[in-house]
């Protein structure tokens, strides 16, 4: 007589969820119970939680801000543009006219190969249409639109129609699976601390405490830990999870990306700025440096 087949992971999770959760907190409690009973592993739980939290996040939380957009001007030669593509390592570039508010389209770096293959190249005719989205769009909605349209990049505009930044499908997926690193990802301080929007900064968890103190005029000790991630882990007494928040030295730290093994990135802003609409906006030292 054949022994019954072992229940699949989906079957075991379904059995656990026979009691319908009443809200998200109840659902997360059930998922953590599944983790405790070895019905799913920590990485799977991290992905599920990331997918759930996407509906609470807006494009402005993950976009590359306008000041850090690598754009191509039609006035540049093909050789200059190709050199920029090699140096920056991006597969797509917004192409602009007079300034960054005048986005004409998107250039795929691979299309430049035609020129080096000896074929004629008209940059303007090669441009793909640019997709414009508001900075308030929810990430789960944007991901669905990316999947349907097969676009990988969108230009983010503010309430006045000006370009606020750009967002890629990688930026969105990283909220679910954690950082997607490639050979072009850098670790210099200029990349570790980046202005996101409205006085908020995206900070890599591996940023050295000394560099963080210099950027934000703080006085965190680096005697017991070397990085901002280590600072937060000591504060929480454990590895914090995506979305968790703590306030230290007048700054509000929110975990943007994390998995079961490490922290990846944080959102840092003045605590007073988040306290309420009537609270005065605080300018961080790094904004001018």
24-62 pLDDT per residue, tens: 777 778 777 777 777 777 777 777 777 887 888 889 888
Rounded Cα–Cα distance for residues 243 and 62 (Å): 13
| pLDDT, position 277 | 40
Contact 278, 196 (CB under 8 A): no
pLDDT-derived band at 104, boundaries 50, 70, 90: very high
Looking at mean pLDDT, say which of 26-35, 56-65, 91-100, 275-284 comes out highest: 91-100
Which pTM was predicted?
Answer: 0.55
Answer with the residue of higher pLDDT: 27 or 254.
254
pLDDT tens for 178-187 read: 655 543 443 4
Of 134, 130, 132, the C-alpha closest to 108 is 130
Q: Report the pLDDT value the prediction gives residue 214, as an integer from 0 to 100.
A: 92
Q: Enumerate domains of the chain plus CATH numbers.
A: 21-56 (no CATH), 60-177 (3.10.580.10), 193-270 (3.30.465.10)
């Amino acid at each position: 007589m054949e022994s019954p087949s072992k229940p699949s992971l989906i079957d075991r999770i379904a059995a656990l969820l026979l009691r319908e959760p009443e809200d998200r907190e109840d659902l997360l409690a059930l998922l953590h119970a599944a983790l405790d009973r070895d019905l799913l592993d920590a990485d799977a739980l991290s992905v599920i939680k990331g997918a759930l939290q996407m509906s609470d996040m807006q494009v402005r939380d993950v976009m590359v801000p306008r000041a850090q957009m690598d754009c191509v001007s039609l006035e540049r030669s093909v050789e200059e543009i190709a050199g920029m593509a090699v140096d920056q390592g991006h597969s797509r570039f917004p192409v602009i006219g007079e300034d960054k508010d005048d986005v004409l389209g998107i250039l795929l770096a691979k299309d430049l190969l035609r020129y080096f293959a000896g074929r004629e190249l008209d940059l303007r005719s090669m441009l793909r249409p640019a997709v414009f989205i508001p900075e308030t769009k929810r990430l789960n909605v944007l991901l669905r639109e990316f999947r349907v349209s097969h676009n990988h990049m969108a230009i983010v505009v503010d309430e006045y129609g000006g370009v606020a930044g750009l967002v890629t499908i990688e930026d969105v997926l990283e909220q679910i699976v954690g950082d997607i690193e490639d050979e072009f990802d850098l670790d210099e301080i200029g990349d570790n601390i980046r202005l996101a929007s409205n006085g908020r900064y995206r900070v890599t968890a591996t940023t050295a405490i000394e560099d963080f103190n210099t950027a934000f005029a703080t006085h965190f000790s680096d005697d017991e830990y070397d990085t901002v991630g280590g600072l937060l882990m000591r504060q929480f007494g454990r590895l914090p999870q995506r979305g968790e928040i703590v306030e230290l030295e007048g700054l509000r730290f929110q975990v943007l990306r994390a998995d079961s093994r490490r922290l990846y990135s944080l959102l840092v802003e003045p605590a007073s700025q988040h306290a309420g609409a009537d609270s005065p906006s605080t300018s961080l030292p790094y904004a001018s440096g």
